[in-house]
Amino acid sequence: MTKLSVNINKFATLRNARGGNLPDILKVAADCETFGADGITVHPRPDERHIRYRDVRELKPLVTTEFNIEGYPSKEFLDLVLEVKPEQCTLVPDPPGVLTSNTGWDTIQHQSFLKEVIGTLKAAGIRVSIFLNPEVDKVEGAKTAGADRIELYTGPYAEEYHNALTQPQNLALFNDYKNTAVKATEIGLDINAGHDLNLDNLRYFKLHIPQLKEVSIGHALVCDAIYFGLENTIQMYKRLLVD
Ligand SMILES: CC(=O)[C@@H](O)[C@H](O)COP(=O)(O)O
Ligand SMILES: NCC(=O)COP(=O)(O)O
């Protein structure tokens, strides 16, 4: 069974649109857990356009499953993570104004920076995952920098899957994901995945990356919840993650 961490960013986008507290994202997080989520993910960005730093602080005592905070390790982000102490921190190489995450780390170029950041987080007892493109040559750098896990950036997979709907087995990119996963497992790194995973493309990914420990899903899941309701939607995603 692969764990489902629900990314609640987009519920905060909706709340922020009116300036009030509807929907109440603390209640959303608690309900996601009641409905079967194995974890809650947030990705606070510097402009706080969805999840705010204050939300992260308020969520921590309420999340009873696994709390995963994602983001670029700026000083402000690291101070927040070290204060809140989630179960997992996922480091993403996003520049401040980016629309959404669009690439993984170059673990060779940023090795010494990653080593220092990861060392600090691990010393505080926080599991660290780093966002990675499906590139085998970047896996070793994740390990030497001290990461526990990699999170495979599935944006390119989702796009290719969408364009090749009838024959997903022919996805050219997929070998890169498989090879990256095999290499990670060989050297003792666990594997998460995320970005643009949805009800169409999730099962194929899960079946072909059997080492997959956890997926974090937000945007598509929130869109599906508009049609199917939050409880049904979470259960639909969970069914795609059974072994
Ligand atoms: C790392 C990753 O893929 C997700 O955290 C994604 O970037 C969500 O962020 P947004 O909700 O800001 O798009
Ligand atoms: N780490 C990926 C994540 O949290 C959610 O990404 P998305 O489903 O919103 O694209």
Enumerate the H helices of 129-201 as residue ranges: 139-144, 155-163, 174-186
- Pick from 217, 233, 237, 240 the residue to mutate for probing ligand 2's pocket: most ligand atoms within 8 Å of its CB: 217
Task: Write the CB contacts of 44 (distance below 8 Å, at least 6 apart in sequence).
Answer: 50, 51, 52, 53, 55, 56, 69, 71, 77, 80
Check residue 63 and report its DSSP letter.
-
Per-residue pLDDT at 168: 61
Per-residue pLDDT at 160: 87
Atom number in ligand 1 closest to CA 196: 3
Chain centre distance of CA 73: 15
Q: Are 196 and 159 in contact (CB under 8 A)?
A: yes
Residue spans of the domains in the chain: they are 3-239
Positions in the chain short of pLDDT 70: 165-171
| CATH architecture for residues 3-239 | Alpha-Beta Barrel (3.20)
Question: Which pTM value belongs to this model?
Answer: 0.96
- Pick from 5, 25, 101, 149 the residue to mutate for probing ligand 1's pocket: most ligand atoms within 8 Å of its CB: 101
Per-residue pLDDT at 164: 73
pLDDT digits (tens, 9 = 90+) for 80-102: 999 999 999 999 999 888 999 99
pLDDT digits (tens, 9 = 90+) for 60-83: 999 999 999 999 999 999 999 999
Distances, alpha carbon 104 to alpha carbons 79, 126, 142, 181, 212, in Å: 22, 20, 11, 14, 17
